[in-house]
Structure 1
Amino acid sequence: MNGLKYQVLKLVEALLDGDEERAWEVVRTNAQSGANSAYIFDVLLRNAMVQIGQLWEMNAISVADEHLASAICERLVARYRDTYLQEPERPSRGKVMLFCVEGEEHDLGLKMVAAAFEESGYETRLYGRNLPLEYARLAALRWHPDIIGISVTIVYHLPKLKSYIHAFESLAYRPQIVVGGRLASMYDLRPYVGPKTLIIADITDLQAWLNQPRAMPTSSHWGAKER
């Protein structure tokens, strides 16, 4: 077993045991060894939760086990942000609002996305799960974010995504729309979004985009393989 698989396995075991301190030790050790946020979020935490989800799908663990692991993982994200992500001294690069479409109850990945934006110098508002379109649009009109990030993780919510994209791409001030979530790395979401919407597959792709000059990309599927 290589080092990465061993680290993820240790994290999975700690999460399923309900041992937050043991799980935090895995995160802390990697962070102090030089791992960046993309590695912590994408490689460690995301892979651990994917494995736990697979165990639940195989009925190897209960829904209570999965909920416990998710709750601990959320606290690990918060602890990592508080411990290792310092507020940038440079002026804000812009404003970002993040939320899940109506009916979506999974916002753990969105919290990691918020941390990545904050680390890159953006003022971020995290609206979390299950935000109806009318309220999301009202929030955008009041705050005028430069970037609007939408998360979708369940296939049967994709028709709703089209309504959100249409509403936000119709705003007069033209914010950049970004779509992510579990489905972004599994399916081609381009039929559900507009030509100027950016699709981000994971935190690694997001950070690669954020490291580019501020000019908006011409491709609508950043970092994703052609399908």
Structure 2
Amino acid sequence: MTPSTVQGPGAVALGPAREHLWSAVHQGDEHRATAVVLDLLESSADPETVLLDLIAPVQARVGAEWAANRLTVAQEHTATAIHERVIAVLAHRVEGRSRTPDGPRVTVACVDGEWHALPARLLAEVLRLRGWRVDFLGAQVPTPHLIAHLHGTGPRAVALSSSIPTHLPTAHTAITACRAAGVPVIAGGAAFGPDGRYARALGADGWAPDAREAAAVLGRGLDRPGPSAFHQTVDDLPHLSDQEYTMVAATKHQLVKQTLADLEDRFEPMRAYTERQRRHTAEDLAHIVEYLATSLYVADDELFLRFILWTADILTARGVPARSLDPALDLLAQHLKDFPRARRTLAHAREALGERTPLTKIPGPGKPA
């Protein structure tokens, strides 16, 4: 699920508290962060407001500051860990106030490979406050273990969270398996698109943009899947029959290795890279191929485009010219000359990138540099 940034109907003015909490997590001060949250809880705000209108927006700011290169990875991890522990303290403090032992049961989990568990944790706590019996399975839950849990507990629904779009194929597997087990699925998190388009494409029974809306959707109820829920992936995504996704995903390491070698030959600035810069370049190429494969999986060029433009902004914030992306996209298109959907997706991204930055053209094989 995505942290809520819209204040609920009973929300108090939280501007000062948000600044105090931001200052505390920014400085890695867990005790002060806890004090800010508990003071607001005791003085003027209900627990759900504290979770969704105080903690969630500050966590969103943490991510934005990291993307703008104003927080290091270590600082971002520290702030997130503080928020997780603060939520645990808050949950313990309010335990018993609004719990309903006999309430409906729900499972909340992150898809396999997804380490960003805080949005799902926020949803789990909101559902507990609203009287649900919640099984919160946390980050990176393998689909077979999730299904075994569902068979053993029989929840009314399962809420699946994913923040990273490259986990969409895995999310599709989990959604299909949960529905085949007779349990409806609500999906949430940035991976599923700003309007939930990928949740619908992958067969989820519901989608919500944030924890507050997810709780409302679950409260209204989701229909249990019928016998037709058991089907093959290609039934949802018939375009996969062209095998482009399968081939790109299966050859990812080869594509990265070959593109990296070609970049060194044809992109002169790379010849002066340090070993660390080369390693980062290889990691960036791996992410590009992963997002390209995911875009092919859901047949949406816009998914790849958004990633490339976001990456261009990240590079710019770190003092790296965004035009350095274009040679990699050009070379990938050359390597994928027999894949029309992949080439179209790459061309779309290069065109958008070219409107923002000067391009460095890479000659094709056999052409003089």
Larger proportion of helix: 2
Unaligned runs of 5+ in 2: 1-12, 224-369
Give 1:26-175 correspondences, 5 Å limit.
26-86=36-96, 88=98, 90-171=100-181, 174-175=182-183
Contact 2:107 2:158 (8 Å CA) reproduced = yes
The Cα RMSD (Å) is: 2.4
Q: Which amino acid aligns with 2:85?
A: R
Q: Which amino acid aligns with 1:193?
A: L
1:28-71 Cα shifts (integer Å, max 9, x gaps): 22212332233212211111111111111111111111111111
Larger proportion of strand: 1
Give the share of equivalent positions with the same residue, in percent. 25
Contact 1:18 1:69 (8 Å CA) reproduced = yes
Partners of 1:101 and 1:9 lie apart in 2 by: 32
Q: 1:24 aligns with which of 28, 34, 56?
A: 34
Identify which range, 136-145 or 99-108, moves more after superposition. Answer: 136-145
Contact 2:114 2:162 (8 Å CA) reproduced = yes
Q: 2:212 aligns with which of 204, 210, 219?
A: 204
1:174-194 Cα shifts (integer Å, max 9, x gaps): 323121223457242344332
Partners of 1:184 and 1:36 lie apart in 2 by: 29
Considering only CA atoms, is the larger Rg found in Structure 1 or Structure 2?
2
Contact 2:159 2:186 (8 Å CA) reproduced = yes
1:147-186 Cα shifts (integer Å, max 9, x gaps): 2111111011112222211111112xx3231212234572
Unaligned runs of 5+ in 1: 218-227
Over 3 Å counting, the alpha-carbon distance change for 1:32 and 1:88 in structure 2 is closer
Contact 1:42 1:202 (8 Å CA) reproduced = no
TM-score (norm 2): 0.53
- How many residue pairs match? The answer is 212
TM-score (norm 1): 0.83
Contact 2:106 2:157 (8 Å CA) reproduced = yes
Contact 2:192 2:199 (8 Å CA) reproduced = no
Partners of 1:6 and 1:82 lie apart in 2 by: 25
Post-superposition offset of 1:7: 2.1
Residue 165 of structure 1 aligns to a residue in which SS?
A: helix
Q: Which amino acid aligns with 1:67?
A: H
1:72-113 Cα shifts (integer Å, max 9, x gaps): 100110011011242646442222112111110111121221
Residue 116 of structure 2 aligns to a residue in which SS?
A: coil
Over 3 Å counting, the alpha-carbon distance change for 1:82 and 1:29 in structure 2 is same
Over 3 Å counting, the alpha-carbon distance change for 1:32 and 1:198 in structure 2 is same
